[in-house]
Amino acid sequence: MSQEKVNLLNLTFPQLRKYFDSLGEKPFRAQQVMKWIHQFGIDDFDEMTNLSKKFREILKEKAEVRGPEVISEEVASDGTCKWALRLDGGQAVEAVFIPEVSRGTLCISSQVGCILDCQFCSTGKQGFSRNLSLGEIIGQLWYATRSLGTMHTSGVKAVTNVVMMGMGEPLLNFNNVVGAMNLMMDDNAYGLSKRRVTLSTSGLVPALDELIKYTDVALAISLHAANDKLRDELVPVNKKYPIKILLDSVKRYIEQSTAVKKVTIEYVMLSGVNDTEKDAHDLAALMKNIPCKINLIPFNPFPGTDYVCSSGNRMHAFEKTLMDHGLIVTIRKTRGEDIDAACGQLVGKVKDRTRRLERRLRKQEQLVNVQTHLD
């Protein structure tokens, strides 16, 4: 029985060095291979020309570079691109690339579905299946970089920012997310700065307190309410970690960080729910001693929801109230709405695509079995 190959996308730089050591290779080989995989987007060992032929043969026998399989690619009218990616086991996640004049942002998933069930998020309504492996997380960046053109092939770094804001709660997949983010920032891989890698969390305080021990990437907090009663309803994890406990953790993170000077507060705008003048004043009072910028997010509807997005006038009035309190505020521009790639929409038709793919694969397997029987 043949031994399963090691997928090198699943390994951090220290793990790759350790693996090559087990093969009797020098540590510098890890740096060479890391660059081939992540900077050049190469998955064929024969193309890694600064490795000895003998070592390349060993790698072909024992290892592989296997990214996620692309089910579909959709491009919105504003240039936003969404990929549905098939994982091991037939499940799927979605990743979104948002191009802008001065940067390109990739929104990455960390789980299949989400267990937290935030009421305004379509992903939460999908339910939770499993965590992604390190390779499945970094594989989204690896695929996007190859698809858009690596720095070495196009002369431009297409993905300049990564946000862990896709499907799932990143802090519930702690080890794999931290490992993937550290790869994103590794100079031998993607070389992104700490300020250009952002983790968004609904507020798992123990994991957030632990995060600063391993990395201090940029931080975004999915707040969405200025009082515990409303946040208990919108973001159920608040019942376990109320707003004060969460914000105390945020302050500790900022104080200990070497790179992060302020946190992003994410606040989805829901008409008649959290968008009143009083809500704005209450939010301003909460943020008084928190170094932050507030990102007001237009709610993106999905089938089955009763929530409605606040009007443009209401959002601008909310923004003005916060700014009058001296806060930095932006209203997020909705991107990719026509392909269900906007914030809170990352589930779309991914389950339907997965079911179609699984049916197609079963038919292919049946045809193979029939042909084998005839032979």
Annotated catalytic sites, by residue?
Answer: 94, 343
pLDDT tens figures, 50-101: 999 999 999 999 999 999 899 999 988 888 999 999 998 888 889 999 998 8
Q: What is the DSSP string of 131-181?
A: EPPHHHHHHHHHHHHHHH--HHHHSS-S--EEEE-SSS-GGGGHHHHHHHH
Residue 14 token pair: 């220290």
Q: What is the DSSP string of 300-343?
A: ---TT----BPPHHHHHHHHHHHHHTT-EEEEPPP-SGGGT-ST
Contact 122, 54 (CB under 8 A): no
Distances (CA, A) of 242 to 25, 94, 171, 180: 51, 30, 17, 29
As beta bridge partners, residue 105 has 98, 161
Beta-sheet strands, E only, within the chain: 6-7, 63-64, 69-75, 81-86, 92-99, 104-107, 111-113, 128-131, 161-164, 197-201, 218-222, 263-269, 292-298, 328-331
Least confident of 87-101, 131-145, 306-320, 334-348: 334-348
pLDDT tens figures, 112-146: 988 888 888 887 777 888 999 999 999 999 999 99
Over residues 11-27, mean pLDDT: 94
> Residue 173, Cβ neighbours under 10 Å: how many?
22
Check pLDDT > 50 for residue 26.
Answer: yes
Check pLDDT > 80 for residue 318.
Answer: yes
Residue type (1 letter), 8:
L
